[in-house]
């Protein structure tokens, strides 16, 4: 089938899925299905002996070391539960440095002496597995011929059942490490960073008189943005198949400029998908809370409730897998690329985080009078110090070839990492810097003017959507992560830099007290020092403005615009000292992450460049030549009968074809480059391949506006964004 016919057929195929009725199914109420496929606390309490249950809960809820003696008992109970759920296999699930989820499946059943089979699942099988470590990115930690790697059971993240029409699988979240114990995944450093932060937070809490504080944990809730398009269009777009974004596409006549999609009525077909996806998420214990249309056409958002950051990271990966699977069942494709459509808002993954424990609650809750809440001010000051001192690391934690298309644009925060505190907290810290806070701005009310409407209470400060790191009432929101990435990376950085800041605060307060200072005086002293030394990171204004770029530079804030600018922050002496001191990464591990990030950057752009070349040469250029021939034939026919022929269209198309051919030749030449190091390869991708691709696209997108519609081979933006 020719390209243009395939495109038109794709449009026709959409009609098969216009009605969502077939996808609604009778089922239990959401509250009844929630967690039904999870080895929950309630399931464990029912199936485990009391001493074993208490031991496991001590690890999960209070961060106590796992007792290896409980493994056999837990494995037996987990196996029986899984078999009752229809599971035939078990899988250690881990999160390698590809950014994706990996699974190694094994059957429960082994041959028995009587010719039958028996189900086996021992404690050693639960706690440890052995996948091939040589086939995953490791940044030089392992030679390619050294294959041994280990998965280790993470008891703090619950096991679950993954359903399939042909049989279910028991999934066990695990870490993934090399034979030498070095981290090859995202989960291991997240658990290490959580432990480091908790140790320093405990020191601070003890200074505030909490003699036996429970273990502090970081909580996270990531708002996930995504696009939906009909799958028929994806099959007609090699760029979407290969790279997850469109490498060509002219701006549609209507985009998002009317602001008519944001929070609009959800289309029936999309709502059907959302309902089915949420039902599956509920079964897996993922607390999906909010759903709505996002700003761009075809863009949507789902947001879960807060969970412990380790579980939240696992659930985020599972959420993406679930959304993709359910979307395909509805004849759609779920796109997580940060910028699948040029000129249309991209997608992020806003990571809301806080700190807390069972005994003291949320440590970032200011209360009605935050100036009186010294404990809150100390933890908030720790965030201010951490973000100012290690803003470069935060930027590096969200650096990728895909997120570069989004950061700094109007749908994402700038690459400059700053903090928004809001009017109330900014005022409180201003008072602190001048000698002590004595008052807090109070909440207000809105009287709307219609007697039938209630009086609405207002917060003491507004929000700021342009800030990459914003306080939002009882938590901070890190808005820079991309929709495609795991939240584990940003949370590792946040936990670690907070460990350093809390360590610094505890040490300074302890030293002041040892010198005879009153505790309140010691707290005021450290708060005043932090806001004086690190207050430059606080900015409540418009992060999109040109003036902020200038002001930020004057304040000494980094503006790391691209991944190539940001990644070196990972391997500065300060970063290496930070991560190694708190036991999160060894120097070898952090260098491996740096090399992997550069390699992934170069690979991503390399795939896009080769796809650009192939599509331009074999899809777009032939269509343009056909149209050129058609125009030339028409002009010649008119001249042959003595009629005046306007050749302007022919000249315009011909000139663009010349530009397209030149762009193709240039891109082909740039692709022939061979690099000696991963740094050189990444630099070549960013500085040479991307500009060469842009030249090809510029000519192709102009041709899309000229070539006859029945000859244009690729589904257009207006079709993909609006036909759903």
For residue 18, the model assigns a pLDDT of 57
For residue 493, the model assigns a pLDDT of 98
Highest averaged pLDDT of the listed ranges 50-64, 255-269, 409-423, 449-463: 50-64
Would residue 63 be called left, alpha or beta, if left means φ above 0 and alpha means ψ between -120 and 50 degrees? left
- DSSP of 548-601, one letter per residue? HHHHHHHHT--B--SHHHHGGGGGSHHHHHHHHHTTS--HHHHHHHHHHHHHHH
**Mean pLDDT, range 392-415, rounded to an integer:** 88
**Mean pLDDT, range 336-365, rounded to an integer:** 94
For residue 645, the model assigns a pLDDT of 67
For residue 466, the model assigns a pLDDT of 86
DSSP 8-state class, residue 391: H
DSSP E strand boundaries for 391-501: 419-420, 444-446, 456-458, 469-471, 476-478
3-state class of 212 per DSSP?
A: coil
For residue 393, the model assigns a pLDDT of 98
pLDDT at 22 over 50: no
For residue 697, the model assigns a pLDDT of 98
**Mean pLDDT, range 178-194, rounded to an integer:** 94
- DSSP of 77-136, one letter per residue? HHHHHHHHTTEEEEEEEE-BTTSS-EEEEEESEEE-TTSSEEE---HHHHHEE--BSTTS
3-state class of 211 per DSSP?
A: coil
**Mean pLDDT, range 222-238, rounded to an integer:** 95
Q: What percent of the chain has pLDDT over 90?
A: 72
Contact status, residue 440 vs residue 369, Cβ threshold 8 Å: yes
**Mean pLDDT, range 225-247, rounded to an integer:** 95
CA dihedral 678, 680, 683, 685 (to 10 degrees): -70
Q: What is the mean pLDDT of the chain?
A: 91
**Mean pLDDT, range 382-402, rounded to an integer:** 97
Angle CA 706–707–708, to nearest 5: 115
For residue 530, the model assigns a pLDDT of 96
Would residue 115 be called left, alpha or beta, if left means φ above 0 and alpha means ψ between -120 and 50 degrees? left
Using DSSP bridges, classify how beta strands 469-471 and 419-420 pair: parallel, antiparallel or unpaired. parallel
Q: Is 24 exposed, middle or buried (0-12, 13-18, 19+ CB in 10 A)?
A: exposed
Per-residue pLDDT band at 1 (split at 50, 70, 90): low
pLDDT: is 648 or 685 the higher one? 685
pLDDT at 590 over 90: yes
Contact status, residue 128 vs residue 71, Cβ threshold 8 Å: no
Structure tokens at 452: 């039938």
Q: Give Cα separations from 611 to 600, 671, 695, 702 (angstroms).
A: 17, 11, 14, 19
Per-residue pLDDT band at 225 (split at 50, 70, 90): very high
Give the list of residues 6+ apart from residue 116 with CB closer than 8 angstroms, or none: none
**Mean pLDDT, range 112-130, rounded to an integer:** 81
For residue 24, the model assigns a pLDDT of 42
For residue 457, the model assigns a pLDDT of 72
pLDDT at 411 over 50: yes
pLDDT at 180 over 90: no
For residue 179, the model assigns a pLDDT of 86
pLDDT at 341 over 90: yes
For residue 286, the model assigns a pLDDT of 94
Q: Give Cα separations from 334 to 9, 225, 282, 516, 720 (angstroms).
A: 21, 10, 19, 61, 12
pLDDT at 404 over 90: yes
pLDDT tens-place string over residues 451-461 = 666 777 777 76
Widest Cα–Cα separation across the chain: 106
Strand partners, 458: 444
pLDDT at 553 over 50: yes
Q: What are the structural domains, with CATH classification, of the chain?
A: 34-185 (3.10.20.70), 194-600 (3.30.590.10)
For residue 23, the model assigns a pLDDT of 45
pLDDT tens-place string over residues 11-20 = 777 766 655 5
**Mean pLDDT, range 264-293, rounded to an integer:** 92
Q: What percent of the chain has pLDDT over 70?
A: 94
For residue 264, the model assigns a pLDDT of 87
pLDDT: is 320 or 114 the higher one? 320
Per-residue pLDDT band at 42 (split at 50, 70, 90): very high
Give the list of residues 6+ apart from residue 26 with CB closer than 8 angstroms, or none: none
For residue 21, the model assigns a pLDDT of 46
In angstroms, the CA 330 to CA 339 distance is 23
In angstroms, the CA 246 to CA 333 distance is 14
Global confidence as pTM:
0.94
Give the list of residues 6+ apart from residue 423 with CB closer than 8 angstroms, or none: 441, 460, 461, 462, 540
pLDDT tens-place string over residues 691-707 = 999 999 999 999 999 99
In angstroms, the CA 554 to CA 10 distance is 53
Give the list of residues 6+ apart from residue 637 with CB closer than 8 angstroms, or none: none
In angstroms, the CA 455 to CA 445 distance is 7
pLDDT tens-place string over residues 647-684 = 888 999 999 999 999 999 999 999 999 999 999 999 99
3-state class of 620 per DSSP?
A: helix
pLDDT tens-place string over residues 301-320 = 999 888 999 999 999 999 99
R_g (Cα) of the chain, nearest Å? 28
In degrees and rounded to multiples of 5, residue 571 shows phi and psi of: -115, 25
165 membership: H or E segment, kind and range: none
């Amino acid at each position: 089938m020719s390209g243009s016919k395939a495109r038109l057929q794709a449009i026709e195929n959409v009609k098969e899925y216009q009605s969502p009725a077939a996808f609604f199914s009778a089922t239990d109420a959401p509250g009844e299905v929630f967690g039904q496929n999870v080895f929950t606390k309630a399931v464990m309490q029912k199936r485990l002996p009391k001493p074993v249950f208490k031991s496991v809960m001590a690890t999960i809820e209070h961060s106590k070391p796992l007792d290896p003696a409980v493994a056999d008992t837990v494995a037996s109970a987990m196996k029986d539960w899984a078999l009752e759920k229809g599971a035939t296999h078990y899988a250690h699930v881990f999160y390698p440095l590809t950014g994706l989820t990996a699974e190694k499946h094994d059957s429960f059943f082994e041959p028995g002496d009587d010719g039958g089979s028996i189900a086996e699942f021992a404690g050693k099988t639960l706690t440890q597995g052995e996948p091939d470590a040589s086939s995953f990115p490791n940044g030089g930690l392992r030679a390619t011929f050294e294959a041994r790697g280990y998965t280790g059971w993470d008891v703090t993240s619950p096991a679950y059942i993954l359903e399939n029409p042909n049989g279910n699988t028991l999934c066990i979240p695990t870490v993934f490490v090399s034979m030498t114990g070095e981290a090859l995944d995202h989960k291991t450093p997240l658990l290490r960073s959580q432990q480091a932060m908790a140790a320093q937070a405990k020191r601070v809490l003890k200074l505030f008189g909490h003699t036996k504080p429970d273990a502090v944990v970081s909580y996270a809730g990531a708002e996930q943005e995504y696009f939906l398009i009909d799958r028929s269009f994806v099959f007609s777009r090699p760029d979407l198949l290969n790279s997850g974004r469109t490498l060509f596409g002219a701006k549609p006549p209507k985009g998002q400029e009317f602001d008519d999609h944001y929070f609009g009525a959800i289309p029936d077909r999309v709502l059907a998908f959302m309902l089915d996806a949420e039902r599956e998420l509920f079964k897996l214990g993922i607390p999906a809370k909010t759903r709505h249309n996002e700003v761009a056409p075809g863009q949507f958002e789902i947001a879960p409730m807060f969970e412990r950051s380790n579980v939240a990271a696992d659930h985020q990966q599972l959420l993406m897998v679930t959304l993709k699977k359910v979307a395909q069942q509805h004849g759609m494709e779920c796109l997580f690329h940060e910028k699948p459509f040029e000129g249309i808002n991209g997608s992020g993954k806003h990571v809301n985080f806080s700190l807390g424990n069972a005994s003291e609650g949320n440590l970032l809750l200011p209360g009605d009078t935050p100036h009186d809440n010294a404990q809150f001010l100390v933890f908030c000051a720790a965030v201010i110090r951490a973000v100012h001192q290690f803003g470069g690391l935060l930027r590096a934690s969200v650096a990728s070839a895909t997120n570069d298309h989004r950061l700094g644009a109007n749908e994402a925060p700038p690459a400059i990492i700053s903090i928004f505190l809001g009017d109330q907290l900014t005022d409180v810290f201003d008072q602190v810097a001048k000698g002590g806070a004595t008052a807090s701005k109070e909440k207000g009310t809105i009287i709307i003017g219609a007697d039938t409407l209630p009086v609405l209470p207002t917060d003491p400060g507004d929000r700021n959507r342009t800030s990459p790191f914003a306080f939002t009432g009882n938590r901070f929101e890190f808005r820079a992560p991309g929709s495609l990435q795991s939240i584990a990376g940003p949370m590792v950085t946040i936990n670690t830099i907070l460990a350093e800041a809390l360590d610094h605060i505890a040490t300074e307060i302890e030293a002041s007290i040892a010198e005879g200072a009153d505790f309140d005086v010691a707290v005021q002293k450290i708060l005043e020092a932090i806001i004086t030394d690190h207050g430059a990171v606080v900015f409540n204004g418009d992060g999109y403005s040109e003036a902020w770029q200038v002001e930020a530079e004057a304040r000494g804030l980094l503006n790391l615009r691209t991944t190539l600018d940001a990644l070196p922050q990972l391997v500065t002496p300060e970063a290496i000292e930070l991560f190694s001191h708190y036991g999160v990464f060894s120097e070898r591990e952090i260098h491996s992450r740096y090399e992997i990030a550069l390699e992934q950057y170069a690979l991503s752009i390399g795939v896009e460049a080769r796809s650009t070349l192939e599509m331009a040469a074999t899809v777009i250029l032939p269509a343009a030549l056909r149209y050129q021939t058609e125009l030339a034939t028409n002009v010649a026919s008119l001249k042959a009968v003595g009629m005046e022929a306007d050749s302007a269209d022919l000249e315009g198309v011909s000139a663009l074809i010349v530009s397209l051919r030149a762009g193709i030749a240039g891109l082909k030449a740039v692709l022939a480059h061979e690099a000696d190091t991963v740094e050189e390869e990444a630099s070549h991708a960013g500085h040479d391949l991307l500009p060469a691709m842009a030249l090809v696209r510029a000519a192709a997108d102009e041709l899309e506006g000229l070539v006859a519609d029945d000859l244009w081979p690729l589904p257009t933006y207006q079709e993909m964004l609006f036909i759903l």
